[in-house]
Amino acid sequence: MYRFVVVVTVLGLGMGAGTARAQFRLPMKLEELERRVHADSNDPAAHFNVALAYWNAKRWQDADHALRNAIMLDPRFAPAYVALSYLPFAQRSSLWDEVRENRVPDEWKARIEESDQFLRHAYMIDPFVELRSVDVVQPRSAPYLEALEMFYGEYVRDYFDGVDQYFQAKYQDAYDRFTRVINSLDGDRHPDRVPNNVFWWHGLASARVEKWPDAIADFDRLVDRSLEPTKRDSLVHFPLRTNEFRYILAYVKQRSGAVNEAIDLYREALTNDIGLYMAHVRLTGSRYRAAAGKYGEPPRSPPTVLSRFGARAAGPEGRRASRIYAVHLSCSEPV
């Protein structure tokens, strides 16, 4: 039991001592990005990009305002919700530890609740939303990771390396790292030893590299655990809830080709939350594909999914057809 508590606590760490600050690498200076916003104030991409520049300059209120403008103009602009979710942690680096230790100052509690809501919203829009902005908030230096490995073991280093690789869109590397973590914890025989956040990242990485059985198994476990309070990780702050895990499991099954199973899960998600709009959208798309496959037609997305907003939320095919928003969300150390 003691080892499991250590595992959960350590793998629940966010930004800690020895971490280095990073910045967004942007293709132009703040002044030029501001000019672009003024030239086209209805372009959500322009507001998003200038928000990242404000973030680099630590102009937090301006960054917050620009990101909110982006989602006001495009309510399905998932990367902006991710950025809004992590903005408080950029403003206050101690917030990682305060959340983990359940000692968030009263004046920050509303921000944390809103942060959780933003992150849930991002995953509901696009379960595979790009998370490179997170790498700016919690970069970890090599000496810090080496110290963790020396003190806690190689699997802890593997976990943090895997998280960083996922943020950097190195999905196969991330999958390999998280698989090693699960193997180190003997997760196949003793899944209760594996914290929820390990299954979460392993599930996302598995889906990204189309290891569908692994991804489905991971999200199945997360749904089951969320239904039983005794199986939740009380030491790890995790903003998603049962119905949101169920929705993501449905999405993964849909992407894997198990369309009928996905339809059942979308229906179950809607039974629990009729207001889950993206479940309506994906259920419509799933029914269309199921009908098309039944009659031997090539599966195509219905017109509602190929709309300007829906295309962005419909996976890689839709995103390629939609406008590219984010600009160079890779991270670099400041000079």
The whole-number pLDDT of residue 228 equals 82
Q: Note the CATH architecture for domain 21-138+325-332.
A: Alpha Horseshoe (1.25)
Whole-structure pTM value: 0.76
Taking 70 as the pLDDT cut, the residues of the chain under it are: 1-22, 132-145, 148-153, 229-237, 285-335
The whole-number pLDDT of residue 137 equals 56
The whole-number pLDDT of residue 99 equals 87
Answer whether 21-138+325-332 and 142-300 agree in fold. yes
The whole-number pLDDT of residue 3 equals 40
What are the domain boundaries of the chain? 21-138+325-332, 142-300
Among residues 75, 78, 56, 55, the alpha carbon closest in space to that of 65 is found at 55
The whole-number pLDDT of residue 198 equals 95
CA 320, CA 309: separation in Å to the nearest integer?
Answer: 13
The whole-number pLDDT of residue 321 equals 31
CA 207, CA 144: separation in Å to the nearest integer?
Answer: 29
Q: Is 61 exposed, middle or buried (0-12, 13-18, 19+ CB in 10 A)?
A: exposed
CATH fold group of domain 142-300: 1.25.40
The whole-number pLDDT of residue 162 equals 93
Read off φ and ψ for residue 74, nearest 5 degrees.
-140, 95
Return the half-sphere exposure (C-beta side, CA atoms, 13 A cut-off) of residue 243. 17
The whole-number pLDDT of residue 325 equals 37
